[in-house]
Amino acid sequence: MDDLAVSDISLNLDTISIPGGGRELENAIKVLTKVDMDLAYSSEKLLNLHFLLMHLLALYDELDPRAVGNGYFKEDFLEKALRYDLLIGILDSEVREVDIFLATLPAEIDDAHHEISSCRHFQEVYTVMDEKLHKCRESLKQSREQALEVKRHIANLQKDFAAVQSDKSEKDNGLDLSDKNQLFNSSFRAKTKELPRYVSRMLEKSLAREQALEKKLSESRQNEEDLKWKLHYTEQVALHMEEAAEVVWGRFLEAENAWEILMGISKELVGKSQVIQFNLNSSVQREAQFLSKIEDLAEQLKAKDIIVQKLESVNVDYVAKCSEVVNLSNKVKVLEEQLKETRFHLKEANASWEASQNQIDEMEHVVETLKEGIEAAESKADAAEGKVTHLTDSNLELTEELNFLKGSVNSKTEKVSVLEKQSRELELQLQHARASSEASQEQQNLLYSAIWDMETLIEDLKSKVSKAESKTDSVEEQCIELSEANFELKKEVSLLRAKIRDLEMSLDDANSSKVAISDEVNLRSKIMMDTVMQLAFERERIQKQLYFLTKDDKMLVGKLKNVREESLNSISHDKDFNEREPPL
């Protein structure tokens, strides 16, 4: 039984790493288990006593003095009073036993505390046993309070029952005295009224009285014989009643012995039921612990599922990143090709730039030559303008001379024609000079526009070269970043694969532990159901025994009723006989 209790404390010594002192811990657990079982026994017994007290309170309500009536002996009242008195005595003795038993429990609790204090180096076990001991003290305090409450109710019931008995006896005595006083007063009044007649007729009736006395004497002798016969009959009845009382007393003693035996058996069964209940509670606690462990494992599985989902999302991200890496690698290839093309174009641009530079140099040389030509043309134009001015001046002079010489037309016509020819030649030279100046101006404008176009082309080529260089730098930086990101992603993928392997192993372990726990829970639930069925069977057997005992008690009470009725009938018969006896 102690080993079973030790297993029910929910302290598994195999699972706790004990460097030394396992014997002390086992002793402490045994002492604590004994204290807990004693408290459970006392609480169960107090609960049964509470039920008996409730039955007594219900029985006390039926013991109302008004229900007895004017008769002194009433069957129901006597039966209930006898049962009430016996039950109060039984309840009082049981409460005293429980009180004595509870008085021994503090010493056991102190011993348990001493044993537990020697296991302070086991911190987890010590805290659990200390809490258990604290609960035991609280339950002991509650049990003492319940015992005191039951004692108080018993004292009140005894006082009330004594008061009921005294009220009934006073009531019966009062009824007898009032009847006697009424009879005495009525007889005294009748005698005072009939006294004169009785005195006047006394002499006349003396002879009749003598005859009546003789008759009464003979009747008294006959009555004496009848009384002797009745006395003999009553002695026989008393002997029969004594024999019946002895038989009833023997049966009562047998019933009491059977009741004590049944009480012992019921105590043993109650102890067994308490042990089973304690084991049941411990198994329920273990089941709750297993359920909590299962919930923890379920939470861990949920956490692991979340981690797996995260890993899947990370894997998806990794796949996306891998696709991005592939795309970026393709882009890098494209950019490399573009870089090659840009380098090729750059080379071509450099070549074209060099060619254009050569052309520019040539153009600059041409421009310089053109500038020199322009300067020469400008100088020629200036000279032509000077000539034009000179020719205009000379033309004016010639026109003046022409006007002057018009008068002498006839004489100087030849000079005029010559001069006109000279003027025409001069005008033609002037027109040629103007046309050459305009052509040189247009040529200069074309050179300026060509120089501007070459400068813009050179600037565009320089900007394209700078853009190509910046693009090549950015592409090289992106390639470096992508290579670093690819290396980090490979590391993360390897770590995630290792974590996935660990999670799969832990998931397999959790599934195996879950299956083992479910098997253990099913086994314990089966054991619990078997114990519950055994308890129900024992309860039915005890109820049947109690039913048969109550039936025997009722039979004994019926026999006592019959004996008392016979005694009452004999007493009433004696009273009637005494009343019929004539006064002497």
**pLDDT per position as a tens digit, 532-543:** 777 778 777 777
Q: What is the mean pLDDT of residues 513-523?
A: 74
Give yes or no for residue 520 having a pLDDT over 60. Answer: yes
Q: What angle do CA 466, 467, 469 make, to 5 degrees?
A: 65
Give yes or no for residue 177 having a pLDDT over 60. Answer: no
Domains and CATH numbers, the chain: 1-195 (1.20.58)
Give yes or no for residue 175 having a pLDDT over 70. Answer: no
Give me the amino acid identity at 115.
E
Q: What is the mean pLDDT of residues 84-105?
A: 85
Distance CA 87, CA 535 (A): 27
pLDDT band of residue 68 (cuts 50, 70, 90) is very low
Q: Rounded to whole angstroms, what are the CA distances from 1 to 4, 43, 78, 104?
A: 5, 20, 47, 21
Rank 8-22, 159-173, 362-376, 549-563 by mean pLDDT and report only the highest.
549-563
Start-to-end Cα distance in the chain: 83
What confidence tens digit (pLDDT) does each residue in 270-287 have?
777 677 777 777 767 776
Q: What is the mean pLDDT of residues 194-209?
A: 52
For 176-245, what is the HEC assignment? HHHHHHHHHHHHHHHHHHHHHHHHHHCCCCHHHHHHHHHHHHHHHHHHHHHHHHHHHHHHHHHHHHHHHH
Compute the mean pLDDT over every residue in the chain, rounded to the nearest whole number: 69
The reported pTM is 0.30
Distance CA 6, CA 37 (A): 12
Q: What is the mean pLDDT of residues 70-96?
A: 73
Distance CA 489, CA 496 (A): 10
**Which pLDDT belongs to residue 195?**
41
Q: Rounded to whole angstroms, what are the CA distances from 564 to 242, 272, 550, 552, 568?
A: 12, 43, 21, 18, 6
**Which pLDDT belongs to residue 165?**
57
Q: What is the mean pLDDT of residues 426-440?
A: 70
Q: What is the mean pLDDT of residues 265-272?
A: 74
Q: What is the mean pLDDT of residues 15-39?
A: 68
Q: Which residue has the tokens 């004539």?
A: 582
Tell how many helices (H) and how many strands (E) occur in the chain: 6, 0
**Which pLDDT belongs to residue 370?**
60
Which is higher by pLDDT, 264 or 201? 264
Classify residue 65 by its DSSP letter: G
Give yes or no for residue 13 having a pLDDT over 60. Answer: no
DSSP string for 69-137: -S-S--HHHHHHHHHHHHHHHHHHHHHHHHHHHHHHHHHHHHHHHHHHHTTTTSHHHHHHHHHHHHHHH
Distance CA 464, CA 470 (A): 10
Distance CA 254, CA 256 (A): 5
Give yes or no for residue 173 having a pLDDT over 50. Answer: no
pLDDT band of residue 145 (cuts 50, 70, 90) is confident
What confidence tens digit (pLDDT) does each residue in 105-122 have?
888 888 887 877 777 776
What confidence tens digit (pLDDT) does each residue in 326-358 have?
676 676 667 667 667 766 766 676 676 676 667
Rank 132-146, 209-223, 373-387, 489-503 by mean pLDDT and report only the highest.
132-146
Q: Among residues of the chain, what percentage have pLDDT more than 90?
A: 0
Classify residue 582 by its DSSP letter: P
Distance CA 211, CA 188 (A): 27
**Which pLDDT belongs to residue 130?**
81
Mean pLDDT check: name the lowest of 46-60, 295-309, 380-394.
Answer: 380-394
Distance CA 87, CA 57 (A): 11
Joined tokens for residue 114: 């001493």
Q: Which residue has the tokens 């010590």?
A: 126
Rank 8-12, 187-191, 440-444 by mean pLDDT and report only the highest.
440-444
pLDDT band of residue 557 (cuts 50, 70, 90) is confident
Give yes or no for residue 392 having a pLDDT over 50. Answer: yes
**Which pLDDT belongs to residue 426?**
66
